[in-house]
Amino acid sequence: MTESAVSVEVHGLTKLYGDVKALVDVDFTVHAGEIVGLLGPNGAGKTTTMKILTGFLGATRGSAKVCGFDVAENSMEVRRRVGYLPETVPLYEDMVVYDYLKFVANMRQVPSGEVHSRIKETADVCGLSHMAGRFIREMSKGYRQRVGLAQALIHKPEVVILDEPTSGLDPNQIIEIRDLIKEIGREKTIIFSTHILQEVAAVCDRIIVIKGGSKVADGTVAELDRRVRSEERYTVTLAPTGSESPSGDVVREKLAALGGVEHVDLLSSSAAEFAFLVRSGRGVDIRHDVFQLATDNGLALLGSERARLTLEDIFRSLTGDADKLEADLRGRASASSSAEEAA
């Protein structure tokens, strides 16, 4: 991505509630035009970070700037440049959509001559044009969420901050809101929090992972994958083709002797085939060598599948669930070899 202006700068951000550390020395930067996801388990500090950035909460120490303005020293300038959708959408349910957006536009000091056109433009972007005359109380949760997005956009902010924007929505509504966020992200800088990993993969340019009030990772999915992945794993399934074919133990030794291979586990063994979990160094692709080994030793290569880390795997590794992750990766490798055997 081309280097662009900085929209958000956070340095040493800390928030304490007595002895409780909600945030501890958090640092990150967001450039203009980025869609950045704050990812973490419930209680990680995502909402606290957003409340500080939007001026709803003061930091204990550290600094935060939005569009060059310090959140503590220039709160009103920051608020003019930020659109905020909290987790609980701030709606007056006895108002119709148009009147509510007009009220917000006036509160946001949109020039009176521009209010009507601004409402129309924002309603179009958020898919609300046909709902402008409806009472908010009569709308589905998905449409209420759209109204919440509209109130965050009505004053044309440079930075949009969304706290759990798809919380409580059904699958179709989630997809609609995701698409809407991506559309808005073409012109705005967006920071949004979630603990739903699919949200990040579908929408974000970059991920900031927070755990226990501290930042534990910052990067693209590919960058975090490289950070977490300490080795490559392959599920290799081979079958003897005749009486001269080597035994499973011999095959295991031959696999272990391949260049770059660090460890070989036998997953299953029968007269018909052998399945192994082969670990090599990070970035080492052994599949060509496995094919050659099979050819040289009279074996049929039934499968040579590289295990891939999902975003869930990356998250669990970064947030300290490595032992459970290791067990699950072994289980997935065993299941894969069993499926191949059944096929």
Q: Is the pLDDT of residue 295 over 70?
A: yes
pLDDT digits (tens, 9 = 90+) for 151-161: 999 999 999 99
| Alpha carbon distance 281, 47 (integer Å) | 39
Tokens of 60: 């204990």
Find out whether 28 and 218 touch, Cβ atoms under 8 Å: yes
From the CB of residue 236, how many other CB atoms can be counted at a distance below 10 Å? 25
pLDDT above 90 coverage of the chain, percent: 60
Mean predicted confidence (pLDDT) in 37-56: 91
pLDDT of residue 310: 74
- Sort strands 6-17 and 20-31 into parallel, antiparallel or unpaired: antiparallel
pLDDT of residue 231: 84
Cα–chain center distance at 47 = 16
Q: Is the pLDDT of residue 338 over 60?
A: no
Find out whether 276 and 252 touch, Cβ atoms under 8 Å: yes
* CATH for the stretch 227-342: 3.30.70.1340
pLDDT above 70 coverage of the chain, percent: 92
| Alpha carbon distance 238, 300 (integer Å) | 6
Res. 1 pLDDT band, cuts 50 70 90:
very low
Q: Is the pLDDT of residue 25 over 60?
A: yes
pLDDT of residue 215: 94
Which region among 110-124, 230-244, 314-328 has the lowest average model confidence (pLDDT)? 314-328
Res. 124 pLDDT band, cuts 50 70 90:
very high
Mean predicted confidence (pLDDT) in 97-109: 96
Q: Is the pLDDT of residue 326 over 70?
A: no
Q: Is the pLDDT of residue 332 over 70?
A: no
pLDDT of residue 330: 62
Res. 331 pLDDT band, cuts 50 70 90:
low
pLDDT of residue 32: 92
pLDDT digits (tens, 9 = 90+) for 182-214: 888 888 999 998 877 777 888 889 999 998 999
pLDDT digits (tens, 9 = 90+) for 219-274: 988 888 888 777 888 999 999 988 888 888 999 999 999 999 999 999 888 888 99
* CATH for the stretch 6-219: 3.40.50.300
Going by C-alpha positions, the residue among 152, 126, 157 that lies closest to residue 139 is 126
Q: What is the mean pLDDT of the chain?
A: 88
Mean predicted confidence (pLDDT) in 113-127: 94
pLDDT of residue 336: 55
Going by C-alpha positions, the residue among 315, 96, 335, 329 that lies closest to residue 221 is 315
Domain with CATH 3.30.70.1340 in the chain: 227-342
> Given the structure tokens 């209680």, which residue do they identify?
43
pLDDT of residue 79: 94
Q: Is the pLDDT of residue 2 over 50?
A: no
Domain with CATH 3.40.50.300 in the chain: 6-219
Mean predicted confidence (pLDDT) in 144-157: 94
Tokens of 107: 């509160």
Res. 87 pLDDT band, cuts 50 70 90:
confident
Mean predicted confidence (pLDDT) in 24-53: 92
Find out whether 203 and 301 touch, Cβ atoms under 8 Å: no
pLDDT of residue 65: 96
Q: Provide the whole-model pTM.
A: 0.77
| Alpha carbon distance 65, 71 (integer Å) | 6
